[in-house]
C-alpha cells in the first residue's frame, strides 16, 4: 500500500518536511484555491506537483482530494453542459500531468460535518467529534429548520435543548464554525441566515432526485475517465445519514452498490473511508471492503468510537469500533489479487 498524507498546499501549517518525516511517500492534495466548477489549468497542476516533487523528500502528488463537484450538478440546476465539460477537461489535464487517482463526493452543501474540532482525549490529544444533541440543537433551535424535530429522537432533542439552554453565544458561535469547517477550499463560510438561504435552494431535491442527478454526473464523466486511465473514487457520506433536511445517498453497502452499478467500469470506483462508514452502526466496514474490493481506488484508514445516541468521534486506530486489522487484511489480499492478475493499480494508496 502507498502511505499518503493529506496536505492542504503551501499555506498548510504542516510543511512537506514533516509529511516525509511521518513516513509518507504520497501526498493527497487539491487546488483548494480554485473555485468549484472551473477548469484546472495544466500549468497550475504541474506547478503544484513540482512543488511537492522538487522538495527532494521523495514525495509525489499521488491522489487528488478532491476534484469538487459543483453544487449545481448535485442540484441538477440549470444548463450544466459547461460544468460537465470543465470537469472532463480538468481530468484530462490531471492525466496529462501523470495524476490518475481522484477522490470526490456527492454530499449536498457540506463535505463533512462535525460539531467539535478539538474534542479532548487522553494525554492532551484532540480529535473531531459529531455530537448528536448539539447537532439537533443547531438544527432545531439555531437554524430553526421547519420539520427538524422529526429527524431527531426525543431523547436527543431533550439533550440538545439542555445544551442550548446552558450555552453561551460564544459556544453557539463555536458550534456554527465547527459545522462550517466542512466547506473546504475557496468556499466562504455561512452564517445561520446564509446557511438557511442555501438550504432553501435545495427545496424539492429528495433522495430520488439527488440519485438522478448523480446518475447523470456519472454518465457524463466516467467514460472520459476510463479513456484517460483515471480512477474516480467516491467518498462516502460523512456522517452517513441525512442532515439538515438534505438527503445523503452514499451511506452504506447498498448505496455503494447502486453507485458502482450505474457505470460498470473500474474508472467508477470507491474511496473506502472506514471512518465515515464506521460512524453508522449498520455498516460492517471490513465486509463492505471485501464486497467492493475490486473497485477500491483509494482508502482513508480512520477509526471512530460511537455512542448510543448517534454521536461519534475519531478514535485511535486500534481502539475504535471498526476491526482495523481485519480491514487491512482485506486490502492486502486485494492488492495481492491485483498483482496476480497483472493490474497496474495493484498498490492501493491510503491516508
Q: What is the pLDDT of residues 262-298, one digit of tens each?
A: 999 999 999 999 999 999 999 999 999 999 999 999 9
Among 131, 51, 41, smallest CA distance to 92 is for 41
On average, the pLDDT of the chain sits at 95
Q: What is the mean pLDDT of residues 216-243?
A: 97
The structure's pTM equals: 0.94
Instruction: Tell me whether the omega of the peptide bond preceding residue 84 falls within 30 degrees of 0, making it cis.
Output: no
Task: Give me the residues paired with residue 270 across strands.
Answer: 234, 296
Strand order in the sheet with 116-120: 116-120, 126-130, 312-315, 303-306
At 238, list the grid cell: 460523512
Min mean pLDDT across 24-38, 85-99, 114-128, 176-190 is at 176-190
pLDDT at position 111 is 87
Residue 213 near residue 73 (C-beta atoms within 8 A):
yes
Residue 298, phi-psi category: left (phi > 0), alpha (psi -120 to 50), beta (remainder): beta
Cα 7 to Cα 51: distance, rounded to the nearest angstrom: 12
Smallest CA-to-CA distance from 45 within 104, 97, 100, 101 is with 97
Q: Which three cell numbers mark 105?
A: 463526493
User: What cell numbers appear for 180 in the block?
Assistant: 462550517
Q: What is the pLDDT of residue 124?
A: 86
Question: Distance (Å, rounded) from C-alpha 43 to C-alpha 50?
Answer: 10
Of the CA atoms within 13 Å of residue 330, those in its CB half-sphere come to: 22
Q: What is the pLDDT of residues 312-351, one digit of tens each?
A: 999 999 999 999 999 999 999 999 999 999 998 999 999 9
Across the range 177-196, mean pLDDT stands at 81
Q: 250 and 236 in contact (C-beta within 8 Å)? A: yes
pLDDT at residue number 188? 67
Q: Quick one: what percent of the chain has pLDDT higher than 90?
A: 91
User: How far apart, in Å, are the Cα atoms of 12 and each of 29, 74, 101, 126?
Assistant: 11, 29, 22, 18
Three-state secondary structure call for residue 95: helix
Question: What digits encode the pLDDT tens for the residues 90-121?
Answer: 999 999 999 999 999 999 998 899 999 998 88
Q: Please state the rounded mean pLDDT for residues 36-58.
A: 96
Alpha-carbon distance of 268 to 221, in angstroms, equals: 9
Q: How confident is the model at residue 182 (pLDDT cuts 50, 70, 90)?
A: confident
- Confidence class of residue 184 from pLDDT cuts 50, 70 and 90? low
Backbone φ/ψ region at 54: left (φ over 0), alpha (ψ -120 to 50), beta: alpha
- Bridging pattern class, strands 116-120 and 126-130: antiparallel
Amino acid at each position: 500500500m502507498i502511505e499518503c498524507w493529506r496536505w492542504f498546499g503551501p499555506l498548510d501549517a504542516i510543511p512537506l518536511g514533516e509529511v516525509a518525516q511521518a513516513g509518507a511517500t504520497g501526498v493527497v492534495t487539491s487546488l483548494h484555491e480554485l473555485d468549484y466548477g472551473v477548469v484546472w489549468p495544466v500549468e497550475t497542476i504541474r506547478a503544484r506537483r513540482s512543488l511537492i516533487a522538487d522538495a527532494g523528500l521523495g514525495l509525489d502528488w499521488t491522489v487528488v482530494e478532491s476534484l469538487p463537484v459543483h453544487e449545481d450538478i448535485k442540484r441538477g440546476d440549470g444548463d450544466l453542459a459547461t460544468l460537465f465539460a470543465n470537469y472532463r477537461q480538468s481530468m484530462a489535464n490531471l492525466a496529462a500531468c501523470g495524476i490518475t487517482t481522484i477522490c470526490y463526493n456527492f454530499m449536498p452543501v457540506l463535505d463533512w460535518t462535525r460539531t467539535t474540532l478539538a474534542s479532548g482525549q487522553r494525554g492532551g490529544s484532540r480529535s473531531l467529534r459529531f455530537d448528536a444533541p448539539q447537532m439537533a440543537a443547531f438544527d432545531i433551535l439555531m437554524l430553526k429548520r421547519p420539520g427538524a424535530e422529526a429527524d431527531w429522537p426525543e431523547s436527543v432533542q431533550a439533550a440538545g435543548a439542555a445544551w442550548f439552554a446552558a450555552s453561551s453565544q460564544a459556544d453557539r458561535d463555536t458550534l456554527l464554525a465547527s459545522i462550517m469547517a466542512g466547506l473546504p477550499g475557496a468556499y466562504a463560510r455561512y452564517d445561520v441566515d446564509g446557511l438557511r438561504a442555501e438550504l432553501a435552494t435545495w427545496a424539492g431535491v429528495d433522495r430520488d432526485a439527488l440519485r438522478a442527478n448523480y446518475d447523470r454526473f456519472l454518465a457524463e464523466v466516467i467514460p472520459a475517465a476510463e479513456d484517460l486511465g483515471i480512477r474516480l473514487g467516491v467518498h462516502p457520506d460523512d456522517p452517513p445519514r441525512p442532515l439538515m433536511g438534505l438527503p445523503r445517498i452514499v451511506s452504506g453497502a447498498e448505496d455503494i452498490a447502486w453507485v458502482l452499478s450505474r457505470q460498470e467500469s473500474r474508472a467508477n470506483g470507491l474511496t473506502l473511508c472506514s471512518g465515515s462508514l464506521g460512524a453508522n452502526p449498520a455498516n460492517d466496514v471490513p465486509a463492505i471492503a471485501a464486497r467492493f474490493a475490486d473497485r477500491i481506488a483509494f482508502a482513508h484508514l480512520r477509526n471512530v468510537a460511537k455512542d448510543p445516541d448517534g454521536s461519534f468521534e475519531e478514535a485511535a486506530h486500534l481502539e475504535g469500533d471498526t476491526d482495523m486489522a481485519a480491514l487491512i487484511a482485506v486490502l492486502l489480499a486485494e492488492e495481492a489479487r491485483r498483482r496476480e492478475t497483472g493490474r497496474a493499480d495493484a498498490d492501493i494508496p491510503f491516508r
